[in-house]
Structure 1
Amino acid sequence: MNTGIRGTVLLVDDEPMIRTATEKWLQMAGLDVISTRNAEEALPYLQEDFHGILLTDVKMPGMSGLELMKATHERIPDLPVILITGHGDIDMAIQAMRDGAYDFIEKPFVPERLVETLLRACDKRRLMMENHRLQTDIAARSGLDAKIIGISPAIQRMKRELLAAADMDTNVIIYGETGSGKELVAQSLHEFSERKQKRFVPINCGAIPEHLIESELFGHEAGAFTGAAKRRIGKFEHADGGTLFLDEIESTPAHLQIKILRALQEGRIERLGSNQSIAVDIRVIAASKADLREDEHFRQDLYYRLNVSQLFLPPLRERPEDIALLFMHYVNQAASERDKASRQLSQHDERILQSHQWPGNVRELKNIAIRFALDNRVSLADLIHGQSSNIGFDDLEYKPLPLAIQVAAFEEEIIKRSLERHQGNIKAVMDELDLPRRTLNQKMAKFGVNRSDYIE
């Protein structure tokens, strides 16, 4: 829509003079007008992405205005349709409004009233289009939010960039530390792209022996080398029409980088032992732990071929808001899969989660969450640090946790023991610990300690 335009009107009228005069009135009012002589000419404009409204005469040769309205609403149910009717058509126009017309204008009409009606309809259509856009966006983001868990600014920014890159159908490099979820991001790029109906084919370039990786990528014919008993389709060919994910691309041998570059440039590959060139249509998503521009062993021409878009996946330690959320997601998932009740985190557990640096990122967190979910006897601190989490009077030599965590846990243990001794009597606990009521309440709330748990 052009700047300053107040809306778009598709005008349908078989009378040239009336059509021309109406078009000029509407244009003077700031409306963009598409003018047609009959309903048949108007139909091609009436697609789902049409952002305007329909103004049509009722009585026309061929398809009538009422028939056009019905055909329009079959295509775009909520598109406003204004009917131009003759004096004797009022009953019919009222029935048309019951059938879904936005309004009707009786001939001869006052231009100002017509413009006022059309502007209201344009505003309604604009609001409908905006709501539809928001709903579509929310649906896409809801799907992505269910796949990539996180509310931190860093991960939200990455998800916005992911959705934008998914629509572009260009090669992408994903940067992220080990265990940060690069393959999950690559899968999401595929699933939110136009290639989602085709295959997503992952391969870890660093996990395959150098003498086998060329065959894995490009395939081979029977007898191409010792042990090649039959033809094998490579990952490039297998991913035709879809997405090929090259994880740890920085591990690719130099001689193979040349072949990958040629395949991307030409859109064709050759199996080992074959002279036949095979066309492939793929999107390549590569992933690396380090900046490929700084890698002297990585070909710069291949880097620029891959680096059409970039996504940077933040490490877990840089998204603290997501740690407990992710942890409980995996705990609930593991418990549900095994039909177990889900364990809950205490505030002490949450502090332990936040204090850990997570060098293994999401992969490490997921492994610990699954073990936490399946064994009620083991503490979270034990899983993370390999020692008991029961920090109390006899545990002053406990070292792995930061001092602030140890002090808080020690405080929590003292309050719990006092509540237990006095069977939940708050006054007795206040006297024993020499704490004001407000301070004790604050600490109990901080540690998630409930007096009712200690009343017998």
Structure 2
Amino acid sequence: MSTPQVILVDDDQQMRSSTSQALELAGVAVRTVASGVEALALAGPGFDGIVVSDIRMPQMDGMTLMARLRELDPDLPVILITGHADVQLAISAIRAGAYDFLEKPFVVQDLVTVIRRACAHRALVLDNRRLRAVAGKRDDVEARLPGRTPVMVDLRHRVRAIGASDADTLIIGPTGSGKEVVARTLHDISARASRPFVAINCAALPEQLIESDLFGHEPGAFPGAIRPRFGRFEHARGGTVLLDEIGAMPLHVQARLLRVLQERCITRLGSHDPIALDVRFVAISKTEPSALVTRGLLREDLYWRLNLAVLHIPPLAGRREDIPLLFLQLIREAAARHSLPERPANPALLADLAARDWPGNIRELRNVAERHVLGLDGVPGEEMTLARLSDRMADFERSVIAGAIAAHGGRLRPVYEALGISRKTLYDKMQRHGLDRRFIIEPDDEDHA
């Protein structure tokens, strides 16, 4: 069993110190805090441990803390420590959802036993959530991030693994490659799916009111601040915040964001009271963040804080074999969107598309699919770079075969018949060009003969 993770809440410094030392000697990992507000900033739906709290505390007592924690996550175990006079209160707390309670003075080993049992329960709950998230969204992930190339298969695998966790994530990819689609997928397959998804364009934040927009403000914080206002981070509580083009965020705001990431709480403008913030941050960038750090556009400490879980989105030119299948899917989507019949795409067109560089990536390919469905001319011309004739011929042959496979729905027999080659020749060429059966959608039984 992994080391239990415990947040110990007690306003009595001596009690915190003695209890944490005893628990650590018993092999329990403890983080101590002096107030319920601090505990709320650390615990939430993704917290992989439990909370142990005293009942009698100023500002926020243990009962209130438990109620707030249950709002964030009804399955988070809370163990209450009571004085003799609070036993009836603790029994009421059990009925209200507390995991257990111990009366002072308690035997440390008794507390350790309850903690281990609560941590085992918590681990089981989180494992079940991850399994449900992965199993329940598997086909949906493939529909959102289509492609048979190894780089896309690996991307979907990583998205499922990271999505089922609660880790802050950094997504890197060129313009139009689908970074926001990946971010939204992470949210939708996570335990936060029912909570808000708040997308923030860091390049379009209002310069004069940027901190108020993100962190909120209290009345009188600045001229015109008449009533309190939630910031966009607070609006996302329990959900996911998408920070689009993180390198465009002003450096002084990046410093405040770093503090939010570390402490999981915010302070509104005009206030000194921290507010617990349970959100997952997903940052995206079209430029390698290390280059942004070198240029002084991204704080290095913020980069390393976000660099825990990283997803690289490939350019379309880096997965040419996916272009024909992706184009056919975009045609279907465009036809449905415009209530028009699908216009077929012949193998020559698909081969031509697969040979292009697509600087605008999926966004550019989608525009071409729209024009194709609407019956407009518009597969844009591109100048081909000079290359060896043999390489260009090989690339063309590979594109033609990949396009034919996609056009015939993955059935190989009509492919080699249409191309006027034997079955063995087709298999040899597929092997030479790395076109294996990832492209086959509905294999013809005769092709296995």
TM bucket (normalised to shorter chain) is 0.5 to 0.7
Unaligned runs of 5+ in 2: 2-129, 387-391, 397-415, 427-449
Task: Give the structure 1 partner of residue 313 of structure 2.
Answer: 313
Contact 2:242 2:282 in 1 (8 A): yes
Aligned equivalents of 2:345, 2:158: Cα separation in 1: 32
1:249 is aligned with what amino acid?
I
Task: Give the structure 2 partner of residue 172 of structure 1.
Answer: 169
Contact 1:198 1:242 in 2 (8 A): yes
Cα 1:348–1:225 shift into 2, 3 Å: farther
Structure 2 residue aligned with 1:277, among 274, 277, 283?
274
Aligned equivalents of 1:440, 1:308: Cα separation in 2: 49
Aligned equivalents of 1:370, 1:153: Cα separation in 2: 27
Where 2:208 maps in the other structure, the secondary structure is helix
Task: Give the structure 2 partner of residue 368 of structure 1.
Answer: 368
Cα 1:355–1:279 shift into 2, 3 Å: same
Where 2:203 maps in the other structure, the secondary structure is coil
C-alpha displacement at 1:440, in angstroms? 11
Cα 1:269–1:441 shift into 2, 3 Å: closer
Task: Give the structure 2 partner of residue 384 of structure 1.
Answer: 380
Task: Give the structure 1 partner of residue 100 of structure 2.
Answer: none
| 2:211 matches 1:214 | yes
Cα 1:247–1:144 shift into 2, 3 Å: same
Aligned equivalents of 1:137, 1:195: Cα separation in 2: 13
Cα 1:197–1:136 shift into 2, 3 Å: closer
Written as runs of structure 1 = structure 2, the 5 A alignment for 1:120-159 is: 140-159=137-156
C-alpha displacement at 1:281, in angstroms? 0.5
C-alpha displacement at 1:439, in angstroms? 12
Aligned equivalents of 2:270, 2:136: Cα separation in 1: 48
2:271 is aligned with what amino acid?
S
Contact 2:169 2:308 in 1 (8 A): yes
Aligned equivalents of 1:248, 1:355: Cα separation in 2: 30
Greater gyration radius? 1
**Structure 1-normalised TM-score?**
0.53
Residues 39-78 of structure 1, C-alpha deviation per residue, up to 9 Å, x if partnerless? Answer: xxxxxxxxxxxxxxxxxxxxxxxxxxxxxxxxxxxxxxxx
State the structure with bigger RCO (CA 8 A, min sep 6), 1 or 2. 2
Contact 2:177 2:314 in 1 (8 A): yes
Where 1:319 maps in the other structure, the secondary structure is helix
Aligned equivalents of 1:135, 1:195: Cα separation in 2: 13
Structure 1 residue aligned with 2:289, among 260, 282, 292?
292
C-alpha displacement at 1:314, in angstroms? 0.7
C-alpha displacement at 1:172, in angstroms? 0.8
Cα 1:148–1:344 shift into 2, 3 Å: same
Contact 1:355 1:402 in 2 (8 A): no
Residues 95-125 of structure 1, C-alpha deviation per residue, up to 9 Å, x if partnerless? Answer: xxxxxxxxxxxxxxxxxxxxxxxxxxxxxxx
| 2:322 matches 1:344 | no
Task: Give the structure 1 partner of residue 187 of structure 2.
Answer: 190
Contact 1:219 1:232 in 2 (8 A): yes
Aligned equivalents of 1:259, 1:135: Cα separation in 2: 35
Structure 2 residue aligned with 1:242, among 214, 239, 242?
239
RMSD of Structure 2 on Structure 1 (CA): 3.4
Task: Give the structure 2 partner of residue 442 of structure 1.
Answer: 420
Aligned equivalents of 2:162, 2:188: Cα separation in 1: 12
Task: Give the structure 1 partner of residue 333 of structure 2.
Answer: 333
1:299 is aligned with what amino acid?
R
Where 1:384 maps in the other structure, the secondary structure is coil
Aligned equivalents of 1:246, 1:134: Cα separation in 2: 27
**Structure 2-normalised TM-score?**
0.54
Number of residue pairs matched? 268
| 2:200 matches 1:203 | yes
C-alpha displacement at 1:188, in angstroms? 0.8
Unaligned runs of 5+ in 1: 2-132, 386-398, 409-437, 447-456
